[in-house]
Structure 1
Amino acid sequence: MMASVKEMDTYAKRWIKQAGGKLRESFETKLNIEEKTNPNDLVTNMDKAIEKFFVDNITSTFPGHRIFGEEGMGDDIKDLKGTVWIIDPIDGTLNFIHQQRNFAISLGVYQEGIGIIGMVYDVVHDELYHAVKGHGAFMDDQRLAPLNEGSVSTSILSMNASWVTENRRIDPNLLAPLVRDVRGTRSYGSAALELAFVAAGRLDAYITMRLMPWDFAGGVLLIEEVGGEVSDIKGEELDYLLGGSLFVSKPGLHKEVFKRYLSGNTKK
């Protein structure tokens, strides 16, 4: 018998809170830290332990569901057929290691490639942002208000400084004028949190050139459920298998930013 969305949502909320408790408890212990692709791409024993926690619970509760996780403990995902849980056990591992704050657990449930459940758990602040497709977005029990239209000149933009300095993915001269023209910029080091903050109206837009699906799979549904706009940096749909660039914003900003700042081509 196919699991209901309500059932999956109930279990997901329980597990994400339990996982967050494990992460808070780990602050008192010494982390085992390893490098992945470079000295700034780190993974800890807790990243692995939390992903295993989700894998064990999902596979035992929902046999037949597949898991697409950052640490590779789930399935070898080549498509999004059936029900797929996309999980980042710690989004913002650098922050988790260095600050013990500004990190999140991100969880998205997709059926036949469509996001039906999205969650971002701000572990340290114990704030759970969550959405079921078609039913609005919430922070804990508080419904998030629909986003109002905005303009560049009155916006707070979240973007890493990498994209306005020399890099391999975009001409920094494209985005430098946008940084100059917005009211202010921020960078939190956790894509999942930045997506949640856009959905909650704490940020007006978030731009990045490089994310993996588990970075945004939980947060994108939050933004869609409050009327925000979601695309890659070329205005195209996101790739939930390979990842890529991401541009999310309150209504109106997409059109203005593409017209005034992103008419040039991104680097291949």
Structure 2
Amino acid sequence: MIDPESSKEIISEAKAITPEIYKDIAKPAAQEVGSVAGRTVKALLSPIRGMLWGWEQIEKMIEEGVQKRLENIPEKNRKSPEPEIAVPAIEALRYTAQNETLREMYLNLLGNSMDDRKKNMVHPSFVELIKQMNSLDAKVFDKVAQGGSNYQKILNPRIAIKGQGKFFSNALPEWYAGWKIENYSESDVSASFIRLSKFGLIELMYDRTAGKDGYDQIRNSPFLQNTLNLWKSMHQNQELELGGTESIFYVNEYGRQFKSACK
């Protein structure tokens, strides 16, 4: 490998020969400079390489993690996991083992797949669902799943111009349930709601309600009120108000089964 300084010397000497010969001689040197600069990309990707664990590296982690779960399964109910569940789950752990939230979901899924009492509950598609999730999705789903199959209140808030039927687009998250996840914004959580709906785990029901109680609490949340006040300060010549549509969501049967299989 030629270092950058050597490359400069080669190019300088080549210039002293002839312009025509310089073009041919400088080309390999320039390629070497490019490959040296490429080390920056390699350096940036090197942490990812370290996350692509082999079986030997994750075997101990899997054994210890699953063993804890097997302790809660009677000996007579223990079985080898189905390969269509275990193989892709273990493969996925090669690059998600460093993510505690997703790692625990995979290990729970593996442990439950080794319990013949839960053979009808653990489905191969659950591995693919976890693959599509990030930590936020897992945390949002865990929170909403605590409500079981009950309808939960959610608002589609808008900052509107009073009496004109107009509102500012993108001023507020599309879906807001009155809470957020630590280190993530309300808009991040809203996007996660939409993803979980597309995954088929929850049902977002726009303009559907299950009683009126609870919506005022969401409207009066500090986040919505502070955002409204901010927009009022930016548009003092207009009378703004907080509007929106009252909606509901719930964890469907597939989502409840996924929760049971991954907890």
The reply to whether TM is greater than 0.5 is no
Instruction: Give TM class, smaller chain.
Output: under 0.3
Pick the structure with greater CA Rg. Answer: 2
Quick one: higher RCO (CA 8 Å, sep 6+), 1 or 2? 2
Write 1 or 2 for the structure with the bigger share of helix. Answer: 2
Larger strand proportion, structure 1 or 2? 1
Compute the TM-score of the two structures, normalised by the length of structure 1.
0.24
